[in-house]
Amino acid sequence: MNAAPSPFKRVAIIGLGLIGGSVGLATREFAHGIVTTGYDADPAVRARASELKLADTICETAADAVRGADLVILCVPVGAMGDAAREMAPGLSDGVVVSDVGSSKESITESLTSALPGHCIIPAHPVAGTEHSGPEAGFATLFQHRWCIVTPPEGADADKVSQLVAYWQTLGATVDTMDAHHHDLVLAVTSHIPHLIAYTIVGTASDLEDVTRGEVIKYSAGGFRDFTRIAASDPTMWRDVFLNNRDAVLTMLQRFLDDLSTLKDAIEDGDGEVLFDRFTRTRAIRRSILDMGQDDSRPDFGRKDHG
Amino acid sequence: MNAAPSPFKRVAIIGLGLIGGSVGLATREFAHGIVTTGYDADPAVRARASELKLADTICETAADAVRGADLVILCVPVGAMGDAAREMAPGLSDGVVVSDVGSSKESITESLTSALPGHCIIPAHPVAGTEHSGPEAGFATLFQHRWCIVTPPEGADADKVSQLVAYWQTLGATVDTMDAHHHDLVLAVTSHIPHLIAYTIVGTASDLEDVTRGEVIKYSAGGFRDFTRIAASDPTMWRDVFLNNRDAVLTMLQRFLDDLSTLKDAIEDGDGEVLFDRFTRTRAIRRSILDMGQDDSRPDFGRKDHG
């Protein structure tokens, strides 16, 4: 039997928006004894993070924030990872684990490895979030009962991987490990394509001439509103995700378009059997998601005005 | 000033699933003094409806259920409207208002007008529902703070339209009137296309070879699960909607595909500006939906595990 991995002592959080702020708050609430430092490139966010106590100490430079840390977590948009890494590099200790929370792991692994040669890089991705962003959006329980995927590059130090896994478990997450390439395919279908589609239909609906925007909003309870939540997500974050997970996104998008084309043909041809068959199969997936505790079965998830 | 329209005295509900059951329960709770009768073609549903008291009396034939009613509401799938109308026709009183709750108004207006010549047909559509179906799924508050669209055919009796509007208001809905053609365009974009897309992506995700179904389910919190709720809706109802609102659905689908193609090109070309611009515009719509009270701003609508 292996001994439990020794916990990190000092965690530096670079980027203090929804995820970074939640990491700080969750560490204070669930990982007793760990000291946190925080940094954000935006002075206004640093000031707000101080007031909200998102980390024990908010530093004025990235290099100061990471000094003495044995774990650094980059919580910046995917496209800003390389620059953020270079900015903090002068402060990094030997033996530090550098991790992140980004949604596209192959490109981040590459940019961190090239920005921080010789350092131990272990990317990770907590699959959790809300449509809100910024330092006010964070909360300590964001990662409870959510998955966190750790993607250790080949040859990563096994003890340090175990330390990182244990840290995320302490914050409430269930941890899986897989390689970065597979992560990017999985997330393309479970997260990136849904966001792309949601952004698209919300855009389509707001540009119509024969149906007013007021009508779209009024009648959104018919299904449309389910898409507006994720289409309200942070634009910078999502721009970077699509630019950085391009190949997996385009692969999955083509499969979606092929399937949509089949349904479109069925509607054109009045083929009710194809429609009924497709619509029946999708119910099983919903049931499994409820069984796994990844969603709430109450009508409209317990939205107000409903039982 | 017009006098308030006199309320209906006896309402017959044909079809006792989610919507029909909710109409019965809402009438008992909010429209005191109205007697309800109910009928469903499925004997098992009639038995369950009796136990659940979805209407004051559950009848063994459609003609019995509508006898003496001054309002009949057809709550059957869109494709079953004509047959249900013919089945009940022998029991209809002179002066009765025949209405429905279907999601596609042009085709229903045609099929009811042809099945019930000489009768007063005033179609309606409460824009409310959940992904659950069947007699157990109904609840009295389903229509509270939801919209109901009434689509009076040309020449419809204005007093009877007012009576129907007042009835839906009593059940808690806010009522709009518009013509059936416009209704079908509005619903194509706010409801039918979102359902078609959701059914498609959930189907795509469940058929992949390089990503397992277990992985899709585990990581669904990244966005995918928002689509699974509406993709779990009743397959018969939705098959009929697509077959019956074909033209409006295909028109709106083409616009969605054009917009998706623009975003796909931007991803292929690495054009971050186009992506950022699109992703920014969609936030405003979400804000308006929240302001109109048509959704809940809590993270994940107050799903469990979230503050």
What DSSP element (H or E) covers A181?
helix A180-187
Q: Do B264 and A253 touch (CB under 8 A)?
A: yes
* Structural domain includes residue B220: yes
Which residues of chain A from 247 to 266 reach within 8 Å of chain B, CB to CB? 249-250, 252-253, 255-257, 259-260, 263-264, 266
Are A165 and A205 in a shared domain? no
In whole numbers, what is the pLDDT of chain B averaged over residues? 92
Edge-first strand listing for the sheet containing B124-127: B124-127, B147-150, B174-177
Taking residues B293-304, what's their average pLDDT? 52
Please, which pLDDT band fits residue B3 given cuts at 50, 70 and 90? low
Q: Is the pLDDT of residue B171 over 70?
A: yes
Tokens of A191: 């997260």
Q: What is the pLDDT of residues A93-137, one digit of tens each?
A: 999 999 999 999 999 999 999 999 999 999 999 998 877 889 999
One domain, residues A141 and A194 = no
Q: Are B279 and A238 in contact (CB under 8 A)?
A: yes
Residue A302: predicted pLDDT: 39
In the predicted model, what is the mean pLDDT of residues B210-225?
87
B167: in domain = yes
Spatial strand order in the sheet of A120-121: A57-58, A35-39, A10-14, A71-74, A97-100, A120-121
Q: Are residues B170 and B235 in the same domain?
A: no
B281 and chain A: CB distance < 8 Å anywhere?
A: yes
A108 near A85, Cβ under 8 Å? no
Q: Helix, strand or coil for residue B2?
A: coil
Output the pLDDT for position B296: 59
Across the range A288-303, mean pLDDT stands at 61
Predicted pLDDT at B121: 98
pLDDT of residue A307: 27
Residue of B285, B290, B300, B306 to mutate when probing chain A, most A C-beta within 10 A: B285
pLDDT band at A277 (very low <50, low <70, confident <90, very high): very high
Residues of B in contact with A239 (CB under 8 A): 272, 275-276, 279
Contact flag B226-A227 (C-beta cutoff 8 Å): yes
Q: Looking at residue A89, which CATH number applies to its domain?
A: 3.40.50.720
φ, ψ (nearest 5 deg) of residue A60: -90, -15
B158 touching A (Cβ < 8 Å): no
Together in a domain, A24 and A83: yes
Q: How far apart are the first and last CA of chain B?
A: 50
Contact indicator for B48, B73 with CB cutoff of 8 Å: no
Overall domain count for chain B:
2
Residue B2 lies in a domain: no
Considering CB atoms only, which of B230, B246, B282 is closest to A223? B230
The answer to whether A47 and A121 have CB atoms below 8 angstroms apart is no
Q: Is the pLDDT of residue A294 over 80?
A: no
Contacting B residues, span 6-65, partner chain A, CB-CB under 8 Å: none
Q: Do B127 and A221 touch (CB under 8 A)?
A: yes
- Residue A32 has what pLDDT? 93
CATH code of the domain in which B251 resides:
1.10.3660.10
Amino acid, single-letter form, for residue A8: F
The pLDDT confidence band at residue A3, using thresholds 50, 70 and 90, is: low
pLDDT digit string, tens, across residues B264-280? 999 999 999 999 999 99
Contact B305 A141 (CB under 8 A): yes
As a whole number, mean pLDDT of residues A44-71 equals 98
Last residue of a domain, one of A143, A178, A213: A178
Q: What is the mean pLDDT of residues A157-161?
A: 97
> Is A91 inside a domain boundary?
yes
User: Do residues A174 and A195 both lie within one domain?
Assistant: no
Residue A265 half-sphere exposure toward CB, CA atoms < 13 A: 7
Q: Kindly state whether residue B75 falls inside one of the protein's structural domains.
A: yes
Q: In whole angstroms, give the CA distance from residue B100 to residue B121.
A: 9
A121 plus A62 within the same structural domain: yes
- B178, B203, B236 — which closes off a domain? B178
Domain that holds residue B104: 10-178
Best residue of A216, A276, A282, A295 to probe chain B, by most B CBs closer than 10 Å = A282
Please tell me the pTM assigned to this model.
0.83
Give the position of tokens 């959790």: A128
Indicate whether B284 pLDDT > 80.
no
Distance from CA of B94 to the nearest CA of A (A): 34
Are residue B30 and residue B167 in the same domain, yes or no? yes
Q: Quote the pLDDT of residue B304.
A: 41
Mention every residue, 6+ apart, whose C-beta is less than 8 A from residue B51.
none
| Rounded CA separation B257/A171 (Å) | 41
Q: Highest mean pLDDT range out of A259-263, A284-288, B129-133?
A: A259-263
Residues of chain B with C-beta less than 8 angstroms from the C-beta of A279: 199, 231, 233, 235, 238-239
Give the lowest-confidence range in A83-87, B66-70, B295-299: B295-299
Which of A222-231, A237-246, B295-304 shows the lowest per-residue confidence on average (mean pLDDT)?
Answer: B295-304
pLDDT tier at A228 (50, 70, 90 boundaries)?
confident
User: Measured between CB atoms, does B213 come within 8 Å of chain A?
Assistant: yes
Three-class HEC string of B75-125? CCCHHHHHHHHHHHHHHCCCCCEEEECCCCHHHHHHHHHHHCCCCEECCEE
Residues in A touching B80 (Cβ below 8 Å): none
Let me know if residue B199 belongs to a domain. Answer: yes
Residue of A nearest to B235 (CA): A279
Reported ipTM: the value is: 0.84
Bridge partner residues of A148 (DSSP): A126, A175
> Which residue among B178, B195, B215 closes a domain?
B178
Give a yes or no: residue B98 inside a domain: yes
- Work out the mean pLDDT of chain A and round it to a whole number: 92
B152 min Cα distance to partner chain A (Å)? 18
CA-nearest residue to A223 within chain B is: B191
Whether B132 and B199 map to the same domain: the answer is no
Q: Are residues B193 and B260 in the same domain?
A: yes
Same domain for B286 and B198? yes
CA distance A21 to chain B (A): 15
Q: What is the mean pLDDT of residues A244-261?
A: 96
B153 interfacial to chain A (CB closer than 8 Å)? no
- Residue B227 banded pLDDT, cuts 50, 70, 90: confident
Q: Are residues A202 and A168 in the same domain?
A: no
User: Is A217 in the B-facing interface, judged by CB distances under 8 Å?
Assistant: yes
Q: Is the pLDDT of residue A256 over 60?
A: yes
B25 and B172 co-located in one domain: yes
Helices (H) and strands (E) in chain B, counts: 13, 9
User: Does residue A286 lie within any of the structural domains?
Assistant: no
